[in-house]
Amino acid sequence: MEDAYAVEMLHITKKFPGIIANDDVTLRLKKGEIHALLGENGAGKSTLMSVLFGLYQPEEGIIKKDGVEVKIKDPNDANALGIGMVHQHFKLVECFSVLDNIILGAEPLKKGFLDKATAKDKILDLSKRYGLEVEPDAIVEDITVGMQQRAEILKMLYRDNEILIFDEPTAVLTPQEIKELMMIMRNLKAEGKSILFISHKLNEIMEVADRCTVLRRGKYVGTVETKDTSMEELSAMMVGRDVNFHVEKKPAHIGDAVLKVSNLTVASKRHKNDAVKNVSFEVHAGEIVCIAGIDGNGQSELVYGLTGLEPIKSGKIEFLNEDVTKRSIRHKTEKGMAHIPEDRHKYGLVLDYTLADNFILQTYYQNTYSTKFGGFMKRDAIIKNAEKIIEKYDVRSSQGPNTIVRSMSGGNQQKAIIGREIDREPELLIAVQPTRGLDIGAIEYIHSQLVKQRDEGKAVLLISLELEEVLDVSDRILVMYEGEIVGELDPHTVSEEELGLYMAGAKRNEVKA
Amino acid sequence: MKKNILKSDGVQAVIASLICVVLGVFVGYVILLIINPDGAFEAIVAVLKNFMTYSRPDSQLRYFGNTLVKTIPLILCSLSILFAYKAGLFNIGAAGQYCVGICASLYAALAWGWSWLPCLLLAVIVGGIYGSLVGLLKAYFNVNEVISGIMLNWIGLYLTNMILSAVKEEASPYTINIRTANPDALIPSLGLEQLFNNNQYITIAIPLAIIIAFIVYIILDKTRMGYEIKATGFNKDAAKYAGMAEKKNIIMTLVIAGSLAGMGAAFLYLTGFEQYIVTSSQVPSMGFNGIAAAFLGGLNPIGAIFSSFFIQHISSGGAYVDKSIYASQISDLIAAVIIYLCGFVFFMKVVMNNMIAKREANKAKTGKEGGEN
C-alpha cells in the first residue's frame, strides 16, 4: 500500500506546570519517506520526540505503529518497535572503537564471549549497503565528526531499526559533510527506512524531505509537501510572520586597530598539541570581524586566551595600544573589553542569582553599586540598573529584576548577557556563538545589536559556526582550521562553497595581517 | 494565580528542618524499641526533655544554662561551615580549626597568664591561620579541601595534645582549671549569670555568639564580600569570567571560617566549663556536629542559632537516659541518629518540591477537564 503510515502520533497533548509543550499535535510518518519536523526553539519538537521515545507520557493522544495503537512507556519499548535516534550531541564512548560503540548494549555473544568478528562483518555489510563509510577499528576520539555521525547511524541500522530520527544532524557538519549526509538519507529511504528529520534549516528541508510538519509554540501548524511549498512559506509557518533573512547594514567605516594579536599560542586542555598556533590578526573600530570554522578548531581557546580565562603559552595581545598580555581579566574589562561567552551557563551567568545581581557581575565593586566604606551593596541602584537593561534590551522574565535567572528561557538569558555586555559601552565586543540555540526572532535582534555596535564605531569580534551568520553579519572573515588562521576572506565576494573548503582545511591563503 | 506559600524558600527550609527533626526522633525511638522495648518511651522523652527532667524551676534554669554554654561553640562551628559552604567549599576542617583554637586560648591563659580578650583574639587568629592552610593548598595546588581538612584535623589534634601537655594537672590528663589558676582569663558575665540561677559558666559569650551570627548574615547578604563569595560558590567559572580573584576568595573564605571555629573554641574553654583532656585520641566532635547544625539551619546564619541549640539539647538530653536499662553509649547513639537525619534537609526539600509539582500538574489536568464541561 502506497500510503501506509509507519508511525502516527495523533492529537498528542503534553503539559508541564505552567506550559503546554505539545497542544493537540499530530504527526504521521509514511513508510519510506523523509519527513521533516520544523519549528523554532521551544516549539515543542524535543517534547514530541521524547513522547515518541517513551521519556514522557502524554496527557492526551495516541501513538500508532503500522496502524496499531501502541503504548511506549520507556525507551526500551521504542527500541523494540524499531525506533532509533541520532542525537544532536552524539552518545558515543570516546575511548572505544567504532565497532565497540555500535554493538554497545546489543553485544553479540558466542558461548558467553563477545563475538566481534560476526559483528564486524555485519557492520561492514551495512556500511557498504548504505554508503556509510567508517573504519570499525578506529577509536572514536580520533575520527572526524562526520564519521562519528555515521557510526551513530550504523548503531541504529545494526539494531534493525526501521524508523530513524535525526535530531538536527547538520549542526556540527561542514557543507561537504552535509551533502554526504543528504546522500546517506536518500540511500536509507531507497532501502525502505522511514526518516524523521528534525531541523530549523529550511534549505536542507527543501532539499531532502518529502513532507514537512511545522510546529509553533507547541501547536500543530500544518503538514505540507515540500514540492508544493517554498522557503518563504515554511518560514512564515514556523515564525508566524514574515522574516527578514538578511541583515540590513550600511558600509563599514573602519577606524584604528582596537585589538592587535601577534603570534598567539594557546595550549589545549584536551590533547597535547596547541589548540591555537601562532595566530596573528587585528580588529579595527567600526568593523565586525568574524572567525569562522568548524567547532573544535581552536576558536574557543583563542577567546579564552584573549579574555584571560585560560593562560596563553606565548604571543602578545595589545588592546587600545596597551600590552594587556599579562593583565587581569578585570583590567581588560575596565578598559572596555566585553565578552559574550560561548557557554552562557558556565561563564556568562550565575544561574542562582537574580537578574539584577547578574547585571552587576563585573561592576559590583564600583561605587555605583556598593559603598566605599564597609562594602554594603546599594540595592536601589542595582534594581534601577536592572530595570534599565530589562527595558532597553527587552529581557523578559516573570518577576523582573528579582527573577532567578535559572528560571528564564535560554533566549532571554542570552539577551540578559548581551544587554549587560553592550550596556557597559565596550570598545571591543567579543561575541562567541551569540545566537546558538535561539529562535529566528531572537537571532534577528542579536544581529541588529552587533551591527549597531559596529555602526557606533566599536570593534566586534564574532566567533560563529553558522555559515549564514558568518556571511551575513561580518565585514571580514578569518577562517580557523586546526588552530591556525588559514584564510582571510571578503564576505561580499566569497561563496558558501568556497568558505566551506577553507573551513574543512582543503584550501588556504596567506593572511595579510 | 495565588502564589503557593509552600514554594517560598524560607518556609520550605523551616518545614524541611522540622520534618528531619521529627524523623530523627522517630528513628531514634525505633532503635530504642529494638534494643529494649521496656524503657524506650521514657528514654526518648528523657532525651527530648533534657534539662526539663528536673522538677525544680531553679535547677531547670541552671541546666538550661549549661546547654546554652555548649550551644555557643556549636553555633560558631556551624557558622564556619556555612560560611565556607556559601563559597562552594566544604570546611570539614572546622574540627581541626576548633581544636587549635582550644590550644591557643588555653595555652595563652595558663602558660602566659593572659587575660580573656587577648586569649580569645589569639584563638581567632590561630584558627584563621589554620584555615588558611586549607585555603592555600586548595588555591595553589588544587588539593581538595575535604582531604586536606581531614589531615589537618589530626595534625591539629596531636599538636594540641602535645602543647597543652605543658599546662596539664600533674595527676590527671586534664588541663589546669582556669578558674583557680587564672580567673582573669574567664570571659566576664556582666551579671548574666543571675538570669540562670547563678550558673557560673554563663558569660557574655552567649550574646556575642548571637551578634556574630547576625554579622555573618549581614556580610553574606548585604555586602560586596558576600556577593563575591556567593557568586564564587554558585559558579566559580562565572566568578572568574567576571574578574573576581578566585584564589584570594578561596583563601580569605577559609581564613574567616577558621577564625569562626577558633572563636567557638575560646568561647567554650574560656568559661572554665570543660578542661581539655590531653590524651584525647579523637578530634572534638563540635566541628562535625557543626555540619549537621549548618544544614539543619538551612545554611542560614540565623537558622544556625536555633539548629545548634536543638542539636546540643539532644546531645545533652542523652545523658538522662536510664543507664540501668540501656548501655551507657546509648545517649551518643540516639543523638547521633537524630543529628544524622538532620543532614537530610536538602533531600526533604527536593521531595517537597516534587510533591508540589505533581499536585500542580494534576490540578492543571483536572482544571482543563472542568473547563471543557
Say what the ipTM of the complex is: 0.80
Asked if A347 and B243 come within 8 Å (Cβ–Cβ), the reply is no
* Minimal C-alpha gap between B162 and chain A (Å): 41
Residue B3 has pLDDT above 70, yes or no: no
Q: Phi-psi region for residue B236, left (φ > 0), alpha (ψ -120 to 50) or beta?
A: alpha
In angstroms, what CA-CA distances link B130 with A269, B94, B249, B255? Answer: 33, 9, 16, 8
Nearest to B257 by CA among B122, B118, B68, B124: B124
B4 contacts on A by Cβ (under 8 Å): none
Domain at B198, CATH number: 1.10.3470
Residue B373 in domain: no
Host domain of residue B326: 5-361
Chain A, nearest residue to B224 by Cα: A375
* Separation CA A477–CA A114 (nearest Å): 51
Asked if A374 and B223 come within 8 Å (Cβ–Cβ), the reply is yes
Residue in A23, A304, A361, A417 to test binding to B, most B beta-carbons within 10 Å: A361
Nearest to B97 by CA among B135, B128, B76, B138: B128
In angstroms, what CA-CA distances link B159 with A279, A395, B94, B163, B278? Answer: 55, 57, 16, 6, 10
Q: What is the mean pLDDT of each run of 10 residues along chain A (513 residues)?
A: 79 79 90 89 80 87 90 86 84 89 86 88 89 87 83 89 87 79 90 88 87 88 90 80 68 90 87 85 94 85 93 93 93 94 89 94 92 90 94 85 85 89 93 80 85 93 86 91 90 84 76 48
Asked if A333 and B243 come within 8 Å (Cβ–Cβ), the reply is yes
**What nine digits make up the cell of B257?**
571560617
CB B363 within 8 A of CB B369: no
Nearest to B290 by CA among B122, B47, B112, B97: B97
| pLDDT at position B2 | 45
> Which one-letter amino acid corresponds to residue B210?
I
Nearest to A252 by CA among A459, A461, A487: A459
* Separation CA A177–CA A184 (nearest Å): 10
> B169 or A437: whose pLDDT is higher?
B169
> Which one-letter amino acid corresponds to residue A24?
D
Asked if A350 and B237 come within 8 Å (Cβ–Cβ), the reply is no
**What nine digits make up the cell of B269?**
574553654
Asked if the C-beta of A361 comes within 8 angstroms of chain B's C-beta atoms, the answer is yes
Residue B5 has pLDDT above 80, yes or no: no
Q: Where are the domains of chain A?
A: 5-239, 244-336+426-513, 350-424
Q: In angstroms, how far is CA A50 from the centroid of its own chain? A: 20
* Residue A26 dihedral angles phi and psi, to the nearest 5°: -120, 130
The three-class DSSP label of residue A486 is strand
Asked if the C-beta of A375 comes within 8 angstroms of chain B's C-beta atoms, the answer is yes
Superfamily the domain A5-239 falls into: P-loop containing nucleotide triphosphate hydrolases (3.40.50.300)
Asked if B227 and A328 come within 8 Å (Cβ–Cβ), the reply is no
CB B131 within 8 A of CB B251: no
A16 contacts on B by Cβ (under 8 Å): 361
Residues 229-258 of B with CB under 8 A from A: 230-231, 234-235, 237-244
Residue B369 in domain: no
| pLDDT at position B370 | 42
Asked if the C-beta of B2 comes within 8 angstroms of chain A's C-beta atoms, the answer is no
Nearest to B150 by CA among B163, B140, B137: B137
CB A175 within 8 A of CB A500: yes
* Separation CA A296–CA A270 (nearest Å): 10
The three-class DSSP label of residue A293 is coil
Give the class (CATH, top level) of A244-336+426-513. alpha beta
Contacts of A110 (CB under 8 A, 6+ apart): A118
Strand partners, A458: none
* Minimal C-alpha gap between A421 and chain B (Å): 11
| pLDDT at position B373 | 37
Query: pTM to 2 decimals?
Result: 0.76
CB A503 within 8 A of CB A177: no
Contacts of B305-312 spanning 24+ positions with Cβ under 8 A: B305/B75, B305/B209, B305/B210, B305/B213, B307/B17, B307/B78, B307/B342, B308/B71, B308/B74, B308/B75, B308/B78, B309/B67, B309/B68, B309/B71, B310/B21, B311/B74, B311/B335, B311/B338, B311/B339, B311/B342, B312/B67, B312/B70, B312/B71, B312/B74
Radius of gyration over every alpha carbon of chain B, rounded to an integer in angstroms: 23
Asked if A352 and B234 come within 8 Å (Cβ–Cβ), the reply is yes
- Pick the range with the lowest mean pLDDT from A60-64, B21-25, B101-105, B138-142: B21-25
Asked if the C-beta of B49 comes within 8 angstroms of chain A's C-beta atoms, the answer is no
Residues 195-234 of B with CB under 8 A from A: 222-225, 227-228, 230-231, 234
**What nine digits make up the cell of B368?**
482543563
* Minimal C-alpha gap between B218 and chain A (Å): 9
State how many domains chain B has.
1
| pLDDT at position A261 | 94
A329 contacts on B by Cβ (under 8 Å): 240-243
Asked if the C-beta of B364 comes within 8 angstroms of chain A's C-beta atoms, the answer is yes
Residue B371 has pLDDT above 70, yes or no: no
Residue B229 has pLDDT above 50, yes or no: yes
pLDDT bracket for residue B364 (50, 70, 90): low
The three-class DSSP label of residue B189 is coil
Asked if the C-beta of A262 comes within 8 angstroms of chain B's C-beta atoms, the answer is no
* Residue A251 dihedral angles phi and psi, to the nearest 5°: -60, 150
Mean pLDDT of chain B: 88
The three-class DSSP label of residue B16 is helix
| pLDDT at position A468 | 79
Asked if the C-beta of B360 comes within 8 angstroms of chain A's C-beta atoms, the answer is yes
Residue B371 in domain: no
> Which one-letter amino acid corresponds to residue A173?
L
Chain B, nearest residue to A366 by Cα: B224
* Separation CA A473–CA A476 (nearest Å): 9
Radius of gyration over every alpha carbon of chain A, rounded to an integer in angstroms: 25
Contacts of B44 (CB under 8 A, 6+ apart): B25, B28, B29, B32, B334
In angstroms, what CA-CA distances link B201 with A334, B196, B197, B218, B269? Answer: 54, 10, 11, 29, 10
Chain A, nearest residue to B221 by Cα: A377
Q: Average pLDDT of B176-202?
A: 89
* Minimal C-alpha gap between A55 and chain B (Å): 17
* Residue B110 dihedral angles phi and psi, to the nearest 5°: -95, -40
Q: Average pLDDT of B2-6?
A: 57
Asked if the C-beta of A113 comes within 8 angstroms of chain B's C-beta atoms, the answer is no
% of residues, chain B, pLDDT over 90: 56
Asked if the C-beta of B362 comes within 8 angstroms of chain A's C-beta atoms, the answer is no
Asked if the C-beta of A364 comes within 8 angstroms of chain B's C-beta atoms, the answer is yes
Q: Which residue of B227, B234, B238 is in closest CB contact with A364?
A: B227
Asked if the C-beta of A513 comes within 8 angstroms of chain B's C-beta atoms, the answer is no
Residue B368 in domain: no
